[in-house]
Structures are given as structure tokens and as C-alpha cells.
Amino acid sequence: MEQTATLLVCCPDRKGLVAALAQVLYGHGANILDADQHTDPVAGQFFQRIKFDMSELHTDRRSLETAISEVAGRFSMSWRIADGKNRFRTAIFVSKYDHCLYDLLLRQRAGELSTDFAMIISNHEDLRSVAEQFEVPFHHLPVTKETKPAQEREALSLLKTEGVDLVVLARYMQILSDDFLKAYDGQVINIHHSFLPAFMGSKPYHRAFERGVKLIGATAHYATADLDEGPIIEQDVVRCSHRDSVQDLVRKGRDLEKVVLGRAVRWHLDDRILVYDNKTVVFN
């Protein structure tokens, strides 16, 4: 039986990188199943994703990681290994909109998302019935200006207690604090209902309508302290025209939001994303 793992690396580009990584894996009995790489000639950076089988290792996992670490030291390489046996635990944050929530829950039920949903957290009660329908624990943490710090601490406590690895903001209409984002650095995915960097912030469909745009979009990105400026994972667009009302733009945009967020979450769960310089490399 295969025991898969994924190695992700990033380092300054130089000769011998691919050979060095392949040799260390081969030398320990790992069988490479898939490999993809990218070089950014402007930044001078090299990126690679290697999926491999560990079922016939000549040594143990620790010895393999030690050998990879030695290679990484020679090439000034940052790296991580994701074990295929480890299943992510994910929390979904929502407010009142249910389209992204339903889509994620259905994708997970269909086997498209390799994760367990540990909980749904909301600042409103509206979607409790959806959580109950899918048998996911629901936590109502109402947020006001006065209660926000305490409620974020409670949310973090819940996430830590349940061993949550990933937080998905599925149209959660609150801005998370810097402290919260530091606690889950690089592990918070947000869906924004515009084609960033256009129309950051609130009511992007209304502002798109006022500008008479011919394309609207949706953007999934990692949340950072800079609102709507985190590394972009995925985007998509749909055409619109002078005939479309704000409500038409919202309707079209919701379809995009579901698809774009679903892709971004799946790629994160499959360890296909590397972040650098506020950008991402996504291995498809």
C-alpha cells in the first residue's frame, strides 16, 4: 500500500537542485510519483513540488528528513513535507450568506476536499440549521466593537482545542485582528467578491455597477493584516453588461465565489501552494 508524502521546496535558483532532491529521495528508497517545478527568472527563485511513495524506504522518516535538511542547507532551501496520511481539520467562518458554506460542505461530502470540518463559527445564528444538516458543530460568537477581542480569543481557543489546521472565511463579514492572523499565519483563506486588486473592501458589486464594468470577478487569497491584499491563490471572472443590475452582478458573482473558493481550498489541502513575496506558486 502506498504511503504518500509531498515535498515542497523554495530556494534561490542554481544548477543541481532537481538532481540533488531526486538523488536523496532515491537513495532512501522513496519512489517519486509526480514532480513539478517552476523558476521565477525575475526573482531568481526555484520552486518544486514532489509527491513520492515512502512504503519502501530503506531507512525511516526521520533519516529521510535529516538528509533533505542537509541538502536544504547546501542550497539555502526552505522546505516542508506533508504526510499524505494526515488529514486536515478545517473550520469555516460565516455570517449570513450560505452559498459558499453549502458548496464547501457538499464538496467535502462528495470527497472533493480531503478534510474534516471541525466546526462552523458565525457571528449570526442564521446558518445553524445548515451546520445541523451536515452534522458539523456550530458556534455562535456574536461580534460587536466591544466584544470582538473576547470573541476572537474564544474562537482561537475553540480552534486550538479541536486541532484546526485551516480556517476558511466563507463570506465572513468581519475583519480578523492581526493577533488572530498571526496565530494562523498562512492558514486562513478568504473569498473576496471582486477581481482583486479592483474594488477592495465593502460592497464591491455596488462599486462595480457604478463604474459600469464589463467583467466582474472573485478572488480567493490568504488573509493577512493588510485587508484584501494577501497572496492571491485563485481568481475567475464573468462578463456583464449595461443591462445588469446590482442584483444581477451579485447573482453572477455568487457562482464565481463558490467555484473560486472551492479550488483554493482544495489546492491548499492538496499541498499545491507555495507563497513568496506576497504571491503564490500553485502547482496544478
pLDDT for position 143 = 95
pLDDT for position 96 = 96
Domain span at 24:
4-83
pLDDT for position 251 = 96
Per DSSP, 73 falls in state H
Residue with cell 520552486: 47
Does residue 100 sit in the same domain as residue 235? yes
Does residue 104 sit in the same domain as residue 162? yes
Question: What would the grid cell of residue 54 be?
Answer: 515512502
13 is catalytic: no
Question: What would the grid cell of residue 189 be?
Answer: 483563506
Q: CATH number, domain at 31?
A: 3.30.70.260
Residues in CB range of 278: below 8 A, 6 or more apart: 224, 229, 230, 231
Q: Give CA–CA dist 270/51, Å, rounded.
A: 10
Does residue 77 sit in the same domain as residue 92? no
Does residue 147 sit in the same domain as residue 41? no
Does residue 13 sit in the same domain as residue 56? yes
Does residue 63 sit in the same domain as residue 142? no
- As averages over each run of 10 residues, the pLDDT of the chain (284 residues) reads 90 96 96 96 96 92 94 96 88 97 98 97 98 98 94 97 97 95 96 93 93 96 94 97 96 97 97 96 94
Residue with cell 462552523: 120
pLDDT for position 267 = 97
Does residue 171 sit in the same domain as residue 264? yes
The count of domains in the chain is 2
pLDDT for position 2 = 72
Q: Which is catalytic among the residues 228, 244, 270, 271?
A: 228
pLDDT for position 85 = 75
Question: What would the grid cell of residue 209 be?
Answer: 455597477
Phi, psi of 107 (to 5 degrees): -65, -40
- Among 83, 108, 125, the domain-final residue is 83
Question: What would the grid cell of residue 96 be?
Answer: 449570513
Q: What is the pTM of this model?
A: 0.94
Q: Give CA–CA dist 9/65, Å, rounded.
A: 13
Q: CATH number, domain at 130?
A: 3.40.50.170
